[in-house]
Structure 1
Amino acid sequence: MSKANGRVRAARLTLGVITMAVLAACSSPQERKTANRGFDYTEAKLENRAFLIPSGLQSPGFTSEYDVPALPDASRQGPVADKVDVRPPAQLLTVVPGSQIVQGGSEPTVSFYALTTSQDVSADTWRFLQSFLTKNGASVEKQDAAAGTLETGWFSNSAALDGWAEDDDDFQIRQRYLFTLKRDDVRHGVNLSARVLQHEEDIDGAKSTSIGEVEARRYAVRLLNQFSLYYEEQLKARDMHRATGSMGLELGNDNNDLSAWIADAPFEQVWLRMKNLLPRYGFEIKDSQQSLGWIDVEYDDPGQSFWDKNGMTPFKLEEGKYRFQLGEMGGGKTSITLFDEDKKPVKSEVVSQMHTTLSQAFAKALDNQ
């Protein structure tokens, strides 16, 4: 259930990024960071009028207990008026399943964890990071895999770094970044942080190379968010590729000791394979819930000519409504249990007979079926 909640949460966060991009597309970066009211208050002065006592009245007693002390000069430092950034703080997004935000660090940091026992999350993160930088026109200037550091060359990518949908001709930035990757072998994960090394910006012809700590962190957070979205895309693409290729299927028992088919692949890959495979063998998908692992179908025998054409034995399964229940077995394996319309497990002999045909189907790539 926790994995399912993570997938829903990731979808909502991704939708939030897209929504913010659409809402902000009609304003410039400078307008988004500046308050949209006047700044006349900066010219306001405190009036020290004398306390007038009408003639004939006695002067009251005075106390200095509630006098407002004068502000020290040090308190007058910092941005004011149009120099104040009114945007909400940038927030790291955990769009990759199982990822976490590392709190309290000097640099924004995201943890990525292995989703299967066979995944080398460190190698994946390095590979995805390099391809992400290439996609955004950023070269790798220095890289030390042993130290876990990577420095980029200068690259211009206002859209990705500003976090919005389109480039703005009046707002251009060039930056260099330092990425630091630290392995966490105990928890089978890696911590990835980002920091701005150098910054150049051009706003309406006004050029600057200075950047404050808060603004630098904002850019680093947004770049990490963009990378996280790319990381998730790469995982999905790889799962889809694996789900459509050859996959082992054995006859066994699920975690409830019911007759089942055991697929030699993680849950997400088997889920994708089942969604693609079932309609090809007479199962019309009526409903499904990935977070709970079930697929409701209605079976209609495709006919003897279909089985003869594919060189397979027909299912000894009565036409009707069924439910395929997927479950994680551990060790990168997934169970598939079949229930009838009354939610009762299908007889073991039927499951065993169907295994012959299903195992042949799983052994083939989907493109060859």
Structure 2
Amino acid sequence: MKKTILLSILAVAVTAGCTSSETRKRASGNFDYLEVTEAQMLKVPDDLKRPPLSNRYELPEAQSPHKILGSDVLIDSPRLVLPLVNGSHVEEGSEKATVLFDQIDDSKPLDTTIWDTVLGYLEVNNIAVESFDRENNTLVTDWVISRKNIDSSWYEFNEEVTEQARKFKLTVDVAPHGRTAKLNVENVAFVDENGDSQLANISPFELRENEVNFLNYIIQEYDFGIRLAQNERIALIRDGFQSELGFNPDGDAAFVVDAAYENAWPRLLLVLRKMGFDVIDLDQSSGLMFLKYNGEDRPWYSGIFSDEKLDLDKVNYRLLVQAVGDKTAVTFKDSDNKAFEVKQATNLFTVFSEYMAEENLDI
């Protein structure tokens, strides 16, 4: 009995060892249909009338130059483009290795962001650039070397590695409005492990796999870059900014924050809440906030150690936020859109600057 079980286990192991990962990707079984020849036309004697013929079930000629028959038929799932980046998506029904990006960061043009990502990925992975036409938004890589282990039987302990080389052409197509761009990857050259050029002989399935895999690596790099930039920006905003009394571009008394507009804006939302303002409405594109003052959000014991408080009526106010170079001007106004006088702004500045500079500000 034990001997029978042992032999069964060995038989299963040998069978599994004979099935490679490459074999499992392809159709298997009976391929007798490859030996079938076309049937001859019906022969009708001369003295009989030929019946009407129909081409209803006639199979069209294959459009692909590749004869994909028998074991050449791949049965595993095709490679899919993975639009991991916020604002990215794929074209429905497209067979190309293409992804579309929407503009998320307005600090620089979308095509510049894409090319910075591509060049960064190539540099990190030591992939040289054969040509780069920035004006026409096209780039051709140098040889991209891939290494693959050759499948061996389960009882063989040595592993053989083969090397293949590919070149890719990347194209960026920017929409006329500049807010969406399409990145396409095309495999333009392929050399097998024997050093022979085989691009013309690659099946459409393998060609798509090559292109989509390379594109997905770039998408991952794009996503990593966005998340890294967001984390750095969040850390910068939480650390706080210094500010000083000054004037806005219109000459009104204002608080000049030592931060770029896109960083000062979200920080202001935290500061205003701590100062006791509720934001009723806001429009970041125009730099306007509509506020209501409800009283400063300070602990009950803070008045024991400090006399600082806001001398403001609990009514509605307005806030004008303006970019001034690499700094930001914040102007407090009353409900009639009249800017605070210098004295009134000065009385407000101490509390404002304290919260604006406070690290890890929490609401």
TM-score grouping bracket, smaller chain normalisation: 0.5 to 0.7
C-alpha distance in structure 1 between counterparts of 2:107 and 2:209, whole Å = 35
Q: Offset of 1:28 from its aligned partner?
A: 6.3
The one of 336, 355, 358 equivalent to 1:361 is 358
Larger deviation, residues 89-98 vs 208-217:
208-217
Q: Cα gap change, 1:263/1:144 in structure 2, threshold over 3 Å: closer, same or farther?
A: closer
1:30 aligns with 22
Residue ranges of structure 1 left out of the alignment (5+ in a row): 1-26, 49-62, 160-167, 251-261, 275-314, 318-323, 338-344
Q: Cα gap change, 1:155/1:334 in structure 2, threshold over 3 Å: closer, same or farther?
A: farther
Q: Percent identity?
A: 17
Count residues with an aligned counterpart. Answer: 249
C-alpha distance in structure 1 between counterparts of 2:114 and 2:187, whole Å = 19
Q: How does 1:1-369 map to 2 (within 5 A)?
A: 30-31=22-23, 33-35=25-27, 37-42=28-33, 78-103=67-92, 107-158=96-147, 169-170=160-161, 172-202=163-193, 209-210=198-199, 211-245=202-236, 264-265=261-262, 329-331=283-285, 347-350=294-297, 355-361=352-358
Classify the secondary structure of the residue corresponding to 2:296.
Answer: helix
Query: Which is higher, the Rg of structure 1 or of structure 2?
Result: 2
Q: Offset of 1:108 from its aligned partner?
A: 2.6
| Alpha-carbon contact 1:249-1:264 (below 8 Å) kept | no
C-alpha distance in structure 2 between counterparts of 1:334 and 1:266, whole Å = 15
C-alpha distance in structure 1 between counterparts of 2:63 and 2:109, whole Å = 51
What are the superposed Cα offsets for residues 166-212 of structure 1, whole Å, 9 maximum, x if unpaired? xx95453210011111223514232211111101233xx79662323
- TM, length-normalised to structure 2: 0.52
C-alpha distance in structure 1 between counterparts of 2:55 and 2:139, whole Å = 56
Classify the secondary structure of the residue corresponding to 2:215.
Answer: helix
C-alpha distance in structure 2 between counterparts of 1:114 and 1:72, whole Å = 44
Q: Offset of 1:142 from its aligned partner?
A: 0.5
Backbone CA RMSD of aligned residues: 5.0
What are the superposed Cα offsets for residues 302-340 of structure 1, whole Å, 9 maximum, x if unpaired? xxxxxxxxxxxxx899xxxxxx99x995349899x9xxx
C-alpha distance in structure 2 between counterparts of 1:236 and 1:153, whole Å = 29
Structure 2 counterpart of 1:144, which letter?
D
C-alpha distance in structure 2 between counterparts of 1:240 and 1:83, whole Å = 47
| Alpha-carbon contact 2:129-2:139 (below 8 Å) kept | yes
Q: Cα gap change, 1:140/1:316 in structure 2, threshold over 3 Å: closer, same or farther?
A: closer
2:251 aligns with none
Classify the secondary structure of the residue corresponding to 1:242.
Answer: helix
| Alpha-carbon contact 1:39-1:82 (below 8 Å) kept | no
- TM, length-normalised to structure 1: 0.52
Q: Offset of 1:219 from its aligned partner?
A: 1.7
What are the superposed Cα offsets for residues 26-59 of structure 1, whole Å, 9 maximum, x if unpaired? x966245323x4235446769x9xxxxxxxxxxx
Residue ranges of structure 2 left out of the alignment (5+ in a row): 1-18, 40-50, 149-158, 244-258, 299-308, 311-350
| Alpha-carbon contact 1:175-1:196 (below 8 Å) kept | yes
Q: Offset of 1:229 from its aligned partner?
A: 0.9
